[in-house]
Amino acid sequence: MSFKIRNLFVVLFFFLTHSQTAKTTQIDEKIDYNNNSIRIVTLTSLSTDIVNKISPEKLVGIPGSSLFKNKKEFDKLSKVSSGRTPPNLEKIVSLKPDLVIGTKGFHDRILKKIDSINIETISYKLNNWKDLEELTQLISKKIGINYLETSKQIIDSNLNKCNLKIQNKVKPNVVVLASSKPILSPNSRSWAGNLLKRIGLNSLTKNLDSKSEFSGYVNLSPEWLLKEDPDNLIIIQTRPGEYSDFEKSKPFSNLSAVKSKNVYRFNYYGLINAGSLESINNACLKLRKII
């Protein structure tokens, strides 16, 4: 694997932090979240979106993300990070937040520093739908509202394409290619694998053990892929036009999914990295079209 490709996936999967058991960190009550002056800084696009849906006036700092492009509600908020660069500690502190939200693994170091200066933090992982519900409930609770009712409303209204599994006697089989070089695919212990199951698709890699450096993802050999010969293929694009010649390249050109034109191109956000509520819902909508 070239350095460029390897570096991309190290960043990609560490940013996901969707590994092992995903649990939000339960923290002691330190501040009065019913106070409208509470200031929140988010370090991930998903937590930004959730806070914005619950109580947008409490947001004072957010990560720089392509998901917020052309979204006016985020234009005037301070950006505490840009692209793949780590969040700026000095900038976060200058915003005088009462709460900072980030992910386990990727934000451990900066959250530890923030916590050491008596600023409250939430650290979370996201591996499955339950974790998403728990994160939404925890943020709602910390903001100081009816967290069970509010979190349910947010899930139901913003993720309506994900809330109903299509019941088929025969579930269409599928393989998701998060990368083609090396061939990486999610198993059931990843966010992507869990979302496929929720919608009602049979992922052929769901029960494979992860022996790659990325927990929840498995390395596939060309021989395995040709032997299993999935009816449907999902390839993940991190930029427009990526994999434009995919159907012509080997070993993929020999697969039934390619020959029958059952190849689906998905955005990186939504299926691999949850990204935002909107990107998750869009991923669910596209997955349902495969059923």
As for how many domains the chain has, the answer is 2
Domain end position, chosen among 158, 192, 212: 158
For residue 117, being part of any structural domain is answered with yes
pLDDT in tens, the chain (291 residues): 443 444 444 344 434 433 333 334 443 444 454 555 789 999 999 999 999 999 999 999 999 999 998 899 999 999 999 877 899 999 999 999 999 999 999 999 999 999 999 999 999 999 999 999 999 999 999 888 878 888 999 999 999 999 766 666 678 999 999 999 899 999 999 999 999 999 999 999 999 987 767 789 999 999 999 999 999 999 999 888 889 889 999 999 999 999 999 999 999 999 999 999 999 999 999 999 997
For residue 167, being part of any structural domain is answered with no
Query: Same domain, yes or no, for 113 and 193?
Result: no
| 126 neighbors 20 (Cβ within 8 angstroms) | no
Query: Same domain, yes or no, for 144 and 177?
Result: no
Name the pTM for this structure.
Answer: 0.87
For residue 164, being part of any structural domain is answered with no
For residue 136, being part of any structural domain is answered with yes
Domain end position, chosen among 114, 135, 158: 158
Query: Same domain, yes or no, for 150 and 177?
Result: no
Look up the CATH number of the domain holding residue 217.
Answer: 3.40.50.1980
What is the per-residue pLDDT for 253? 95
For residue 145, being part of any structural domain is answered with yes
Domain of residue 187: give its range. Answer: 173-288
For residue 90, being part of any structural domain is answered with yes
Query: Same domain, yes or no, for 138 and 263?
Result: no
d(C-alpha 291, C-alpha 207), whole Å: 21
Query: Same domain, yes or no, for 20 and 154?
Result: yes
Query: Same domain, yes or no, for 181 and 213?
Result: yes
